[in-house]
């Protein structure tokens, strides 16, 4: 005699079974790096811009003859850079129905994703500044070696106006891989003075410092179709990150839409303070296979 077997997929019984949804996971983001490596300025309430002057050096002191008047006088002169900001933002619309039917706090999820989006935008804009230095080393398809870093550092130090320390080198992880085996040493070392260890520890290659320059890597550096990427060796005083309004989120109710608009806005910008304080580094960034 045959007996019917009732399984979990029998008829409509499948619809009666509870589906358990695990806590939402998020796409892993690259933490901000560039804002910690440069000069930061803040525009206060009522301020439109910041003017950063740079005093020109006097000529060399001259030999004097006793009893002869020093006739030549030096004159104060300066150059300056103007810092301004512009707004950047991202918006998300959340419907009432989604809020009612979702198991998790939708606003908390959206808030995290808005913040990640803003941080990524700021970081990419900062990395894009490395492409603006007039002096460059390397070329498309060239493999990065330690000697190129030595050349960059000595160029910054050997100019008539040496670039002030601290320096940093920012590159794509695939580029850094080319020199790790050759120069990495056993153990780790404290982050050189001038940087925040807590903020940078994820991207500082703490197993080696090349020619006194800490090496940082981030996957947000753009890699072109030929597998090349532009990083940079630069002084902290080469670039400025200026902020008028830190990122914040406002929520507005749209009754006819039966939804909320969440708008995340920041007022900030990146500015080059001194072109002579940085060097663009263009090298191959193909995916390593060994």
Query: For the segment 24-53, what is each residue's pLDDT rounded down to a tens digit?
Result: 565 666 777 899 899 999 998 888 888 888
Answer whether residue 142 is part of any domain. yes
Choose between 126 and 21: higher pLDDT. Answer: 126
Integer-rounded Cα Rg, in Å, for the chain is: 27
Q: Which residue has the higher pLDDT, 204 or 271?
A: 271
pLDDT band (50, 70, 90) for residue 121: very high
Q: What is the pLDDT of residue 21?
A: 53
Please tell me the number of Cα atoms within 13 Å of 83 on its side-chain side: 25
20 assigned to some structural domain: no
**Residue 71 located in a structural domain:** no
So what's the pLDDT on residue 56? 79
Residue 205 has pLDDT above 70, yes or no: no
**Tokens at residue 50, please?**
């910041």
Query: What predicted TM-score, i.e. pTM, was given to this entire model?
Result: 0.80
Residue 138 in any domain: the answer is yes
Q: Which one has a higher pLDDT value, 66 or 270?
A: 270
Is residue 73 included in any domain, yes or no?
Answer: no
Higher-pLDDT residue of 115 and 11 is 115
Q: Residue 49: inside a domain, yes or no?
A: no
Average pLDDT over the chain reads 83
Residue 102: per-residue pLDDT: 78
Confidence of residue 265 (pLDDT cuts 50, 70, 90): very high
Mean pLDDT, residues 114-143 taken together: 94
Mean predicted confidence (pLDDT) in 181-194 = 59
- Residues with Cβ < 8 Å from 84, sequence gap 6 or more? 48, 49, 242, 269, 271
Alpha-carbon distances of 105 from 24, 26, 76, 102, 116, rounded to whole Å: 10, 14, 61, 8, 17
Domain count, the chain: 1
Q: Is residue 146 part of a domain?
A: yes
The tens digit of pLDDT for each residue in 68-120 reads: 888 888 888 778 889 999 999 999 998 999 888 876 688 888 888 899 999 99
Domain membership flag for residue 235: yes
Domain hosting residue 123, numbered range: 83-284
Q: How far apart are CA 242 and CA 158, in angstroms?
A: 29
């Amino acid at each position: 005699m045959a007996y019917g077997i009732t399984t979990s997929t029998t008829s409509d019984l499948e619809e009666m079974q509870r589906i358990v949804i695990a806590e939402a996971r998020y796409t892993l983001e690259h933490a901000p790096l560039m804002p910690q490596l440069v000069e930061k300025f803040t525009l206060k309430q009522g301020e439109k811009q910041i003017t950063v002057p740079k005093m020109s050096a006097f000529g060399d002191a001259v030999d004097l003859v006793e009893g002869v008047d020093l006739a030549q006088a030096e004159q104060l002169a300066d150059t300056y850079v103007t810092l301004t900001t512009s707004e950047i933002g991202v918006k998300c619309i959340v419907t009432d129905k989604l809020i009612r039917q979702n198991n998790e706090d939708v606003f908390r999820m959206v808030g995290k994703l808005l913040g990640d989006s803003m941080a990524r935008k700021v970081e990419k804009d900062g990395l894009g500044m490395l492409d603006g230095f007039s002096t460059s080393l390397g070329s498309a398809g060239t493999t990065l070696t330690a000697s190129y870093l030595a050349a960059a550092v000595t160029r910054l130090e050997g100019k008539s106006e040496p670039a002030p320390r601290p320096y940093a080198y920012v590159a794509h992880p695939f580029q850094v891989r080319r020199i790790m085996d050759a120069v990495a040493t056993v153990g780790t070392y404290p982050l050189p003075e001038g940087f925040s260890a807590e903020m940078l520890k994820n991207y500082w290659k703490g197993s080696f410092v090349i020619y006194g320059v800490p090496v940082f890597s981030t996957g947000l550096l753009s890699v072109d179709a030929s597998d090349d990427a532009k990083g940079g060796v630069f002084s902290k005083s080469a670039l400025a990150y200026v902020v008028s309004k830190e990122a914040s989120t406002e929520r507005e109710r749209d009754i006819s839409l039966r939804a909320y608009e969440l708008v995340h806005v920041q007022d900030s910008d990146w500015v080059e303070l001194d072109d002579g304080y940085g060097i663009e580094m263009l090298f191959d960034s193909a995916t390593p296979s060994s």
